[in-house]
């Protein structure tokens, strides 16, 4: 059976990393839930994912890619659905992010929210024109949710 690496959070918000043997990713998720953990990331170690060398410079570049936005929104959704407060969820995502620029954007959103701003305003305030297009689908959903309140 393969060994999966995971990052999960406790209900208190503490991030936990580890590994579990399981036949498939779904089994890892079930085991983590049984342990009272909220899975954030689950993956096979890099050496078992592909036999060829795959070098990615994405984590070292300052650019926020569409994949970064996707991962951010999925992880934020997971944490919120698990019952963690928005501010704690964003703090966890700052810790998990490997890209400095993304960390800065998330910290800016968090700061806006802590100053009693709405999530939409925090997101919109942190997005410079170059990133607005990538984040637009998320902004549109949040704006619709805000307007329906």
pLDDT digits (tens, 9 = 90+) for 3-13: 999 998 888 87
pLDDT class for 50, splitting at 50, 70, 90?
very low
83: alpha, beta or left, given left = phi > 0 and alpha = psi -120 to 50? left
pTM: 0.58
Q: Per-residue pLDDT tens for 99-144?
A: 898 899 889 888 877 776 566 666 666 655 456 666 677 666 666 6
Q: Is the C-alpha dihedral spanning 11, 78, 76, 18 positive or negative?
A: positive
- Which of 11-20, 47-56, 68-77, 117-126 bottoms out in mean pLDDT, i.e. has the lowest? 47-56
57 alpha-carbon distance from chain centroid = 19
């Amino acid at each position: 059976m393969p060994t999966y690496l995971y990052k999960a959070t406790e209900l208190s918000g503490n991030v936990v990393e580890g590994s579990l043997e399981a036949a498939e990713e779904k089994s890892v998720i079930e085991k983590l839930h049984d342990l009272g953990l909220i899975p954030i990331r689950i993956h096979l170690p890099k050496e078992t994912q592909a036999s060829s060398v795959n070098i990615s410079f994405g984590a070292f570049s300052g650019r926020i890619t569409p994949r970064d936005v996707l991962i951010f929104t999925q992880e934020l959704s997971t944490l919120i659905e698990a019952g963690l407060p928005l501010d704690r969820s964003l703090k966890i995502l700052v810790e998990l992010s490997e890209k400095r620029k993304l960390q800065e954007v998330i910290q800016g959103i968090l700061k806006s929210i802590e100053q009693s701003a709405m999530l939409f305003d925090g997101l919109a305030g942190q997005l410079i024109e170059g990133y607005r297009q990538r984040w637009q689908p998320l902004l549109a959903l949040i704006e619709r949710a805000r307007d329906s309140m």
